[in-house]
Structure 1
Amino acid sequence: MGHQQDDVYYVPKNSYWPIVAAIAMFTTVYGAAHWLNAQPGEAGFGKGMFWTGVVLVLGMFFGWFRSVIHESRAGSYNAQVDRSFRMGMLWFIFSEVMFFGAFFGALFYARIFSVPWLGGEGHGVLTHQFLWSTYSAAWGASGGGGPAAVGGAFQTIPAWGLPLVNTLILLSSGVTITIAHHALRGGRRGQLLLFLGLTVLLGSLFLYCQSHEYMEAYQNFNLTLHSGVYGATFFMLTGFHGMHVTLGTIMLAIIWLRCAKGHFTRDHHFGFEAVAWYWHFVDVVWLALFMFVYVL
């Protein structure tokens, strides 16, 4: 398999995948927004739009990455292209850091400023006196996170149950993918497939445990999206993280198939490295979630 010369930067031919991606993502987000904000009995349209968008997104990923894989296998990429991919992935992860940073910022603002102000502290003295004199400034309780009269009384999920189990699962997956990476660089194909497969299984197990936690939250703790600001921030942060774990697990499974087909070598395996970077990022975000959403 030949490679382009380092002084020749590969420019792919025109592609329709970017416009397909834009349409798919718009359809998904529009459907989700309509689904969440629809009146009772009117969520069918938004739900259908959302799942249509999900199918389009998955199809777009499959088609676009297939084109990139074919270009890589054909030897079209050189060191300059490899550096471009690495920089692109780093900027993508940086954008994801900012994405979660915004939600963590909303969490900290609500906990550190809004709740104490509504309870009468600092600038919120008049707010407490005239707007909500019976408010109890306690984060994570029905009085502090969402009054029982509005969303119903609810309980928080204990940190040392399923959240702790999920933390151990993700930390273990970070170890297994690191071992798989070293196996790839060392040319140990069997070990690579074993530990990369274990990473996929651990990611799937995490998603299973999180779905069970959500069902338990709704059925046993009455913790829903309507449970005030606490419920909103809880499901926003853990839900988006779960979406990222889902995407990462799918990518890991595809990388496993590519490793089984021998697409990567000791020196040329950026596709594997990019997914490993992404998975470690997901691990770090979960640690922050576990501390600031469940424990503190």
Structure 2
Amino acid sequence: MLVDRLGIPGLFDVHTHFLPPRVAAKVRRQFDTAGPLIGRPWPLHYRGPDEDLVATLRALGVRRFSALAYAHRPGMAEFLNDWTAELADRVPEALRCATFYPEPDVAAYVGKRIDAGTELFKIHVQVGGFHVTDPLLDEAWGLVEDAGVPVVLHAGSGPVPTEHTGPEPVAALLRRHPRLRLVIAHLGAPEYAAFLALAEEHAEVRLDTTMAFTDFFSEMGGVFPPELLPRLADLRDKVLLGSDFPNIPYPYAHQLEALERLDLGDAWLQAVCWGNGVRLFGPFPDESTP
């Protein structure tokens, strides 16, 4: 196994999804029917109840993972936040996750979630259908910035671009809140160069590897330009492993194989697959950071 070869305690996957059962069923239907935000056939490799999915991650060597839920309409975020908090209470490996949406009470509940120990927020502007610079979000972003809580942000235009995706709104957000700890999902695909530039420019902007370099992602137009690989190598300490589990159309191991074949070295893989997550979120008991 890759974990054994690298000499790391396990995998730290910052981009996995666990949802309330009825919401998860609706999301799976979107994938099964190649819905409008999916754009192509997407045969899910993993299905089942949460207990089975958690067991699968454990068997794969994943020691820490997220429960990234995201709201697509007003009044939904706190329902999701209650559920993901309960998941974190019963699954010790799960980060305490939350989401938010542009609505009048967003700052109030974001502040409450921060006080309750939220470790990671998730925002998906493509599904949510909003701009990260929506004025309703400004106070909430300020709270998140001041608390230093990371945010996994899907803002790249893949797999289907919308008026809300792309690097420009994120750059504008960072001009307002330059200390935000953003983790750009999917390396910002397909606007890789622009999002790498944001990570190079801003001390707290990071990237996750979700689906990047996999055969499936490349076939759907997500090919990472080879000339950018030296910059990705230089960003070693700002790249985190992500997978999109369980919503992936191939075995989990393929994501790891795709990263290995970049040939960026074991030190890069150690940092991406484990060390950077531990440095950002803190260690699990008795676990060190290579």
TM range (shorter): under 0.3
Does 1 or 2 have the higher relative contact order (CA < 8 Å, sep 6+)?
2
Task: Give the structure-1-normalised TM-score.
Answer: 0.22
Task: Give the structure-2-normalised TM-score.
Answer: 0.22
Structure ranking higher in helix proportion: 1
Structure ranking higher in strand proportion: 2
Q: Which has the larger radius of gyration?
A: 1
